[in-house]
Amino acid sequence: MLKWIKIGCLLLLFSSCNDTGIETYTPYSPTLSPLDIPKIFADNILPPIIPPDNPQTVEGIALGRKLFFDPILSANNTQSCASCHAPENAFTDIDRFSDGIDGILGNRNSMPLFNLAWNYDNKFFWDGRSFGLEKQALEPVKDPIELHNTWSNVAQTLQSHSEYPDLFLEAFGTSTIDSTLVTKALAQFQRTLISSNSRFDKHLLGEITLTPSELNGFNIFMDETKGDCFHCHGNANNPLWTDNDFHNNGLDATFLDKGLGKITGDPNDDGKFKSPSLRNLKFTAPYMHDGRFATLDDVINHYSEGLVNSPTIDPLMKSVDNGGVQLSDSEKADLKAFLLSLSDVEFINNPDFKAP
């Protein structure tokens, strides 16, 4: 008898009455919400990566947004994903190292979050240790220096919540909550974080004209004998402004943090970290995987005269024997002006990316 009562309750969840008053079965049907792909992306790069088993839906995105800003995912209900990935900072942290719920600092700077659906190698974190955006979201929750929770506790807490079971039912057709559905929702929201409206984007679309300093900075960026930046960070035809690959960019002679090398076990990968996008640099200081550079001027000075040789130095660091590309003060100023033109004020102020 109990079995049939449960089946009847499930049928009621997905039923409605027609004009004759006869109850009819209504299957679970979320509202599809494909990504709004900017023209500058559609014209220049491949389509985004959307897993077939996690399509973008209105309900899934809304649930992911709520979860992203909710401290309920942490063990003591004090921190959320947004605590280390703040919208006003292009979803990164202004502190060099974020501290978790126990006040313990890590050794890496929080990565900014945008245009993640176009991460074609599908490897996430500075060292590429997670394959896929959904799997990436598994780690911060259980990391002892971040949210320091367990997924079984997260599921139990959400399951007993007054709102979340119904929200999961709307988004995924089930009110039974587990880590797979939580991370699917988070990934759906994060894929909507698209940045595509910087001054340089508007320049490419013919909407504005860059200043002479910005234009000269772009030329320096593209010049192999000057900035020589484009190999790792793309060009005007790459709106991501990263190759999403891993490089040793001459920060250290030896490595306490091996980066990719720790993941692959290959000593040839020691000291290699993922190239971050150059978008939104105005909002994402400090810089590098360990946040060692407080300002954009520090970054430019590093590539100009601060390169350090090591056994795994990237061949693209061609000027390492000279310490760098040796830019003049005016060239540095122009390069900085161009890099700042890649910042997207509309992105950090988008109300759809704020706490619900």
Nearest to 74 by CA among 51, 100, 111: 100
Q: How confident is the model at residue 18 (pLDDT cuts 50, 70, 90)?
A: very low
DSSP annotation of 14: T
Q: Is residue 337 included in any domain, yes or no? A: yes
Q: Is residue 25 included in any domain, yes or no? A: no
What average pLDDT is seen over the chain? 93
Q: What is the pLDDT of residue 13?
A: 41
Q: What is the pLDDT of residue 95?
A: 97
Q: What is the pLDDT of residue 26?
A: 53
* 279 and 296 part of one domain: yes
Q: How confident is the model at residue 4 (pLDDT cuts 50, 70, 90)?
A: very low
Q: Is residue 32 included in any domain, yes or no? A: no
Q: What is the mean pLDDT of residues 120-139?
A: 96
- Predicted confidence (pLDDT) per residue in 223-271, tens digit: 999 999 999 999 999 999 999 999 999 999 999 999 999 999 999 999 9
* 182 and 226 part of one domain: no
Q: Which residues is 86 bridged to in the sheet?
A: 92
Can you say whether the dihedral through the CA atoms of 81, 260, 340, 41 is positive or negative?
negative
> Looking at 159, 178, 194, which one is the last position of a domain?
194
* Ranges 24-33, 44-53, 103-112, 339-348: which has the least confidence: 24-33
Residue 6 has pLDDT above 50, yes or no: no
Residue 75 has pLDDT above 90, yes or no: yes
Q: How confident is the model at residue 154 (pLDDT cuts 50, 70, 90)?
A: very high
* 179 and 224 part of one domain: no
Q: Is residue 7 included in any domain, yes or no? A: no
Q: What single letter denotes the amino acid at residue 156?
A: Q
- Predicted confidence (pLDDT) per residue in 160-175, tens digit: 999 999 999 999 999 9
Domain encompassing residue 251: 199-347
**Residue 216: which CATH number?**
1.10.760.10
* 156 and 245 part of one domain: no
- Predicted confidence (pLDDT) per residue in 53-63, tens digit: 999 999 999 99
Q: What is the pLDDT of residue 21?
A: 47
In this structure, which long-range contacts are made by residues 348-355, counting pairs with CB atoms below 8 Å and at least 24 apart in sequence?
Answer: 348/87, 348/88, 348/89, 348/90, 348/280, 348/283, 350/87, 352/65, 352/192, 353/87, 353/91, 353/192, 353/193, 354/87, 355/69, 355/82
- Work out how many domains the chain is built from and give that number: 2
Which structure tokens are listed for 153? 């506790």
Task: Please state the pTM of the whole predicted model.
Answer: 0.92
Q: How confident is the model at residue 28 (pLDDT cuts 50, 70, 90)?
A: confident
> Looking at 153, 177, 194, which one is the last position of a domain?
194
Token pair 């009455």 is at which residue? Answer: 17
* 155 and 133 part of one domain: yes
Which structure tokens are listed for 3? 């079995």
* 330 and 287 part of one domain: yes
Q: Is the peptide bond before 112 cis (omega within 30 degrees of 0)?
A: no
* 223 and 185 part of one domain: no
- Predicted confidence (pLDDT) per residue in 331-349, tens digit: 999 999 999 999 999 999 9
Residue 283 has pLDDT above 90, yes or no: yes
Nearest to 114 by CA among 140, 92, 82: 92
